Structure 1
Amino acid sequence: MAKIINSNNIADYVGFQAKPTPWHKITQAQINQFADCTLDHQFIHVDEEKAKATPFGSTIAHGFLSLSMLSHFAEDFSVIIDGFYMGLNAGFDKIRFLQPVTVNSRIRAHAKILAIEEKKPGQFRLCTEVTIEIEGCDTPALVAEWVSVQMVK
């Protein structure tokens, strides 16, 4: 669940680490749907038989599928400034894909607020470090620094 904070206390939340999100299982159906949306049908994602012969032993999720799951996970790890009425995705300062996510793996997000600053009155820029953990794996799927903007009344 997102945490509501007061704009007068934003400095207190730099370094705030949210609880890990619930787990999400990456299914072949989800991978196939993502392949259809992005027109990326590389065999390692969609051909289960061919993918068995790779070092991964199965299909793997697209790196961008794992990255796109941040929108889903943000519902649980976000810090929302009181008076929020609109948010914007401003992109990423850094993204590193470290470990492929094999089909039927479970992933979850860990998030830490790196910076919050008021750019204009009622407009706050947040930078959040997000790590996508793969259940049972020491290496995360990815680490990203996600920039967002929150508009508050």
Structure 2
Amino acid sequence: MANVIITNPEQLLDLEGKTLGTTAWLTVSQQRINLFAEATNDHQWIHVDEEKAAQGPFGACIAHGYLTLSLASDFLFQLIDIQNLAMGVNYGCNKIRFPAPVPVGSEIRGRGDVISVEQVGEAYQAVIRITIEIEGSERPGCVVDTISRYSFK
């Protein structure tokens, strides 16, 4: 169940400037990294060659930055459930950063902060910053300002 449930546009507008809390922890497994490498044809050794990566700069394989970014979508759905929609779409992202590598075996979670909400035509556009925290790390693995548009019934 999501941290915040929204049923109408007014509730969404009222979220501007508020935090949505955090999600459950997720383990970044080598299998997940390998599957992402297969899906994207990105087989760089720092991601998939466990022996070589163990001798490399991170001491182990690390998740692709775009793999970490892609998990923001899952975290967003854990943070906020917008109901009574005719349609919701991913409109894009603003600034995306990868401050720290995400080593294989890491536990990560999303933290959500609502940056802005505005009406755009008949829809409502929300910019929600997803900070992907790495357990035990001071720096996050990814920070992204997601942009979603919602049309209510």
Tell me the TM-score normalised to structure 1 length: 0.93
1:46 equivalent in alignment to 2:56: no
Counterparts of residues 19-34 of structure 1 (less than 5 Å): 19-34=21-36
In the TM superposition, residue 5 of structure 1 has moved relative to its aligned partner by: 4.2
Q: 1:3 to 1:13 in 2, by over 3 A?
A: same
What's 2:110 paired with?
109
> 1:19 and 1:137 mapped to 2: Cα distance?
18
What's 1:152 paired with?
152
What's 1:87 paired with?
88
What's 2:125 paired with?
125
> One-letter code of the match for 1:139?
R
> 2:87 and 2:8 mapped to 1: Cα distance?
16
What's 1:138 paired with?
138
Q: 4+ residue runs of structure 1 moved beyond 3 angstroms?
A: none
Structure 1 spans left out of the alignment, 5+ residues: none
Q: 1:79 to 1:118 in 2, by over 3 A?
A: farther
Counterpart of 1:19 in 2: which secondary structure? strand
> One-letter code of the match for 1:12?
D
Counterpart of 1:44 in 2: which secondary structure? helix
Tell me the TM-score normalised to structure 2 length: 0.93
Q: 1:18 aligns with which of 17, 20, 23?
A: 20
In the TM superposition, residue 6 of structure 1 has moved relative to its aligned partner by: 2.7
What's 2:67 paired with?
65
In the TM superposition, residue 55 of structure 1 has moved relative to its aligned partner by: 1.9
In the TM superposition, residue 37 of structure 1 has moved relative to its aligned partner by: 0.2
In the TM superposition, residue 78 of structure 1 has moved relative to its aligned partner by: 2.0
Q: 1:11 to 1:72 in 2, by over 3 A?
A: closer
Structure 2 spans left out of the alignment, 5+ residues: none
| Backbone CA RMSD of aligned residues | 1.3
Counterpart of 1:67 in 2: which secondary structure? helix
**Residues 55-105 of structure 1, C-alpha deviation per residue, up to 9 Å, x if partnerless?**
21100000000000011112211252x521321111111101110100000
